[in-house]
Amino acid sequence: MSARLALGLRAPWPEALRELWVFGLKQAWACIFAGALLALIALSSLWPPTQLARYDFLFLAALSLQAVLLVTRLERPAEARVILVFHLVATLLELFKTAPQIGSWAYPGVEQARFAVAGVPLFAGFMYSAVGSYLARVWRVFDFRFTHFPPLWQLAALAALAYLNFFTHHFVLDLRWPLVAAIAWRLWSCDVHFRVRQVHRRMPLLLGLALVATFIWFAENLATAARVWVYPEQSAAWQLVSPHKILAWFLLMFLSFVLVAALHRDETRRGPARPTEKSS
């Protein structure tokens, strides 16, 4: 698909390319925390720190990066509070998933880290914070507006059920597919309106969330290749993370989206400021 079709542009090609370029720059700006974290993971794999355990280095670096974002006002205190909530609920999930009786994944060499609890490095929570940071920043950078946004309480209920399923599916029926279907049903007619330059453009919110979940899966493959964490099938040698994990990331990322939406509840009730063009 051409850049013009991908962005739904009717402007001449040079203008379409300019808008695509600005779109990429804004996405990169929204990913500043996640991108920096991924770079630190790669660097610590190529050149392991000598004075600190790797996970301690990553934890302190992520903490410093978060502080810089707040001091420079690139991230707002209200956004940081929402991201902290996601950080905490994700850390609780980590403690459960890495417990010996569950063993969904593990952190190699975590016993050398001082900043760790029950086999989970405190750095782990920042990997989820990166998702929350991206959603909070992309919302602001692209001036999100919505049409046909479902009642927030309904999305919150689905997010809570999705989070609960991460625990209960080890003991009872796995409901991730019915939950994805329920989320898709509630978001089917909802469009997100985003402003690249002057004009708001729109795309289905469900498509946007699915794309983000897919990119998180790509980042997960890079992180597991750098052995920040490993799945049981990767313990002997690295292999591609199952695409099935995209579903899990979609559900977890949906939880983060609902938390950010609660912070921006006014924007979920107002449409775009001017006529928009479809992006898909």
- Distance in angstroms (rounded) separating the CA atoms of residues 116 and 112: 9
Q: Are 163 and 89 in contact (CB under 8 A)?
A: yes
- Distance in angstroms (rounded) separating the CA atoms of residues 58 and 91: 16
Residues of the chain with pLDDT under 50: 1-9, 280
- pLDDT, residue 13, reads 59
- pLDDT, residue 5, reads 44
- pLDDT, residue 64, reads 92
Q: Please write the tens of the pLDDT for every residue from 87-136.
A: 888 899 999 999 988 989 999 988 888 999 988 999 998 888 888 889 98
- pLDDT, residue 265, reads 77
Q: Are 246 and 213 in contact (CB under 8 A)?
A: yes
pTM summary value = 0.86
Q: Which of 139, 130, 181 is nearest to 158 (CA)?
A: 181
Which residue is associated with the tokens 């507006």?
A: 145
Rg (CA), the chain: 19
- pLDDT, residue 211, reads 94
